[in-house]
Chains A and B, each alone.
Chain A
């Protein structure tokens, strides 16, 4: 673990060091391109503002993500059991991906107002697709020989689903869920940009005309950390729930 972690950490540290040196040497003003030290001091001096905004955005990310997981799994199971529905709906789902879904945020704000709801919906829309597609694929890729074996062991359609198809699909479901985890933060920010009065996206919007560039960097840093944390949590859940599957990157 340590061995795998330190090379990128060293590289990242070196890049930050070079960034600091260049900004210092060239006397780049903070409003144009802040040094890492300026970002760090913004994290300190704006901590109350950033902490409150982070709480708002975390709520949007987590609830929106859970909404996406729940809906995606429910739909995947439905599509798995109904071939007709699968034939009708799956192509539409794939086609819907050509819609830049974050740009639906303004429409959702008009529809749902300026509360948390439109943010949840944007996050859910962005995260929904990779989970549902991977889950449908995973459920359908059950080994036919296992299914035959289950049928001769008095396995009903439901028990085959419960004992063979669903556990077998978990690795695929989790790989979709991990991809989705990295999208959630972006969805939340776009939701906030379409109309909000709180959250990290709102902080960024407010900081821009004030040329508080270091604060924007600080907010982006926190958003990255949130995406990483969600990704880590999903990976951890996978390790606990899918211990037999040993391809954890």
Chain B
């Protein structure tokens, strides 16, 4: 990874020991307590999947961690810092929709965070381009988002999130809108990228299989709290071998039972 060009924007960020902690977090939307005393710890460079029924507060959880919202009670901290601005500075969010800007090319979309930080467009492109090469997007750099397939768009959106150079990645159903075959392809791609570029990851998914395949731990949300935590310890191997292994089938079964 010596050619990695992501620069730390804050001192010590590349070697940070950032973890995410939530204590007794309550979030009320309207008259509903979406999150109701939630506790969760995510270790540095740990990948945690968050699954649960729709409306259970998965996306709200990500917004809180990202610093886009504040909890009504409880504490959200990243590496010991609890302020919203400090959390915003350490998280990058990949929303459900790819949110690519149609007036920018794939490369200019991916390098948005670099430009936001004050780099010239030229310099931002120079830093982002090598990642296109390395992560299987060569040739797509100058295409407009409208010319990209759904799978390619998600890859560019993920690259944009990665290039923000943040320690914590918040992925909100990143492949929810894709067809099953493309989704499987992208899951493998993402697993490969995260092995090469380890980060602290919170992955929200309604797809238990996806969470189990990509994460080291899966938490099930229900009733505004963590209803179950499932450590994922699966044999290595091809995707097909993994998903049909008895261990995987059993984990999936457990998760689905808790979700109910």
Contact = CB atoms under 8 A, between A and B. Distances in A.
B66 A153 contact: no
B103 A152 contact: no
Interface string B75-104: 000000000000011011101010101111
Interface size class of A (residues with CB under 8 A): 10 to 19
Given A159-B115, A163-B115, A244-B144, A153 B92 contact: yes
Nearest to B91: A152
A8 B29 CA distance: 56
Contacts of B160: 153
B164 A153 contact: yes
B9 interface: yes
A145 B112 contact: no
A214 to B, nearest CB: 49
Contacts of B99: 143, 145-146, 149
A35 B170 CA distance: 73
Given A145-B97, A244-B144, A150 B116 contact: yes
B66 A159 contact: no
Contact of B117 (A152, A154, A167, A245): A154
B113 interface: yes
A145, A152, A156, A159: most-surrounded residue (chain B CB, <10 A): A152
B28 interface: no
Nearest to B92: A152
Contact of A154 (B102, B116, B146): B116
A164 B95 contact: no
Interface string B155-178: 000001100101000100000000
Given A153-B160, A154-B117, A244 B91 contact: no
Contacts of A149: 93, 95, 99
A58 to B, nearest CB: 32
B148 interface: no
Given A153-B160, A154-B9, A164-B101, A148 B93 contact: yes
A167 B144 CA distance: 15
B68 interface: yes
A244 B105 CA distance: 11
Q: Which of A156, A167, A244 has the most CB of B within 10 A?
A: A244
B101 A154 contact: no
Contacts of B112: 150, 153, 155, 163
A151 interface: yes
Interface string B128-166: 000000000000000010100000000000001100101
A149 B92 CA distance: 8
A146 B94 CA distance: 11
Given A148-B95, A163-B101, A244-B102, A155 B116 contact: yes
Interface in A10-59: none
A184 to B, nearest CB: 28
Interface in B1-34: 9
Contacts of A245: 102
Interface string A194-236: 0000000000000000000000000000000000000000000
Nearest to A242: B103
A170 to B, nearest CB: 8
B139 to A, nearest CB: 20
B66 A152 contact: yes
30 contacts: A143-B99, A145-B97, A145-B99, A146-B101, A148-B68, A150-B116, A151-B68, A151-B88, A152-B66, A152-B68, A152-B88, A152-B91, A152-B92, A152-B93, A152-B166, A152-B170, A153-B112, A153-B116, A153-B160, A154-B9, A154-B89, A154-B113, A154-B116, A155-B112, A156-B116, A159-B116, A163-B116, A164-B101, A167-B101, A167-B103
Given A152-B67, A153-B164, 10 more contacts: A145-B99, A146-B99, A148-B93, A151-B68, A151-B88, A153-B92, A154-B113, A163-B115, A167-B101, A244-B146
Interface of A: 143, 145-146, 148-156, 159, 163-164, 167, 242, 244-245
Closest 5 CB pairs of A and B: A153-B113, A152-B93, A244-B102, A167-B103, A154-B116
